[in-house]
Amino acid sequence: MLWTRITEASWRTVAHVVLPSTLAVLGVVAGVRLGLTPWEAAYGVLQSFSLGMDVVPQSAQALAHPFWDQLAWFVRFALPVTAGAAVLESFRVLQRIRNPLILMREHVVIVGAGRLGVALARHFRKTRRVVIIEVEGSTPVLTTLEREGIRVVVGDGREHSVLRDGNVRFAHWVIVTTREDIVNVEVAQAALRLGGPRCLAQVADGRLRESLTHLYPGNRLTTFDSHAFAASRMVHDELVSPEGPLPVVAIVGLGEFGKAILQEIAAVGAARHVVVFDLDPLRAAVARRAAAGVSLEFVALDSLEQDASDWLEARTDPIAVVLCTDNDVRNLDLAVRLRSHANLRVVMRAFRQPCGGDNEGGVLSRLRGVHVHIVTDLIVAYIEAILKLSS
């Protein structure tokens, strides 16, 4: 096993071994050509480490063989330097061999310990060994993940040394889920340059995803947009009706997920009229751009929980209400308030089960009168499908 780890060293490691060995052989050959016996020449090479090598016992020999004389002097000064570099490199290799992650094969490397990264790490931990890379070492969840058996590497995933610590070269998949598209792309490119097998990167920008498809044909780099996928599933499951567009759909919360919901409603024509509730009046322009031709009403509120529920409870016409703020507790509070109204079809977005259970046995599935969609469950199923298709 040790020999296997050493033979997997980089070309730089091999060079540090080959170069001083070659110089030592050349030093012996030069000494022999200058009149020394092989044993004397070998002893002279060993003396070079103290800069005391004397391979020219007679000046006549040196004058007769100037090339070998110059080579002997070169070896005298170059050999200690290259040998010292080889010693330092050996310490580096031994340090990597001692790293337990270097022994991993066919594991999953996840870059980014945000909510999605942590959810994916816990999911894949059931069937594979998992390494998670996070730049913020003080993130509290890292300690919990380590207790759960997930290996943690602290560092910037764009740096080759950090990716080597995660042993990405021998990973089954590298999944990148940081909050920044550009960072995700840079991490994926760095992993591929190190010989990583396949990468799955979260990229919200559609144009960037399209350009990456052309740059990386095949399945070495696959991109996905978690918000867009989960929103599409929710809209098609809850709002698309064979009888035609719904009369009114109300969206509570216009964050990234709410915007994705609005864009999907507009794309498939799921509603004739959309009402958007949000605390930030500046998001009205965002809503108009996302609606793209759908009749839109934007309502800026001081309190989503109270004002939105008051507005909706005053209506008597059928309304599909999509609760998709970024706060699961807020969504749950609104769902409890609205679920008893017969004219309201309440659809709730939750990022994960609050008690850690799955969607079939978790507390949210027992919330009567509310159609709950767990985003992490949707995304995990989607990523699993991508991995199976690409395997």
Structure tokens at 282: 């500046």
User: Residues 164, 147: contact at Cβ < 8 Å?
Assistant: no
Q: Mean of the per-residue pLDDT values for the chain?
A: 83
Q: Which positions ≥6 away from 270 have C-beta within 8 Å? A: 235, 239, 240, 241, 245, 246, 249, 264
Structure tokens at 284: 């009205």
**Per-residue pLDDT tens for 27-42?**
788 777 777 778 877 7
Kindly indicate whether the domain formed by 104-224 is annotated with CATH number 3.40.50.720: yes
β-strands 344-350, 370-374 pairing: parallel
Residue 16's pLDDT is what?
A: 67
104-224 and 229-375 have identical folds: yes
Q: Which amino acid is at 68?
A: W
- CATH class of domain segment(s) 229-375: alpha beta
DSSP 54: -
Classify 276 as helix, strand or coil.
Answer: strand
User: Residues 16, 42: contact at Cβ < 8 Å?
Assistant: no
For the cut 90, the answer to whether the pLDDT of residue 201 exceeds it is yes
What's the mean pLDDT in 177-203?
Answer: 92
Residue 217's pLDDT is what?
A: 72
> What are the respective helix, strand and coil percentages of the chain, to the nearest 5?
55, 15, 30
β-strands 246-252, 271-278 pairing: parallel
Residue 297's pLDDT is what?
A: 95
Residue 296's pLDDT is what?
A: 95
pTM of the predicted model, to two decimals? 0.69
For the cut 70, the answer to whether the pLDDT of residue 96 exceeds it is no
Q: Which letter, b or e, does each residue of 15-50 get, where b requires 16 or more Cβ atoms within 10 Å of its Cβ?
A: ebbebbeebbebbbbbbbbbbbeeebbbbbbeebee
Residue 323's pLDDT is what?
A: 95
Domain boundaries along the sequence of the chain? 2-98, 104-224, 229-375
What's the mean pLDDT in 77-87?
Answer: 77
What's the mean pLDDT in 245-254?
Answer: 95
User: Residues 263, 246: contact at Cβ < 8 Å?
Assistant: no
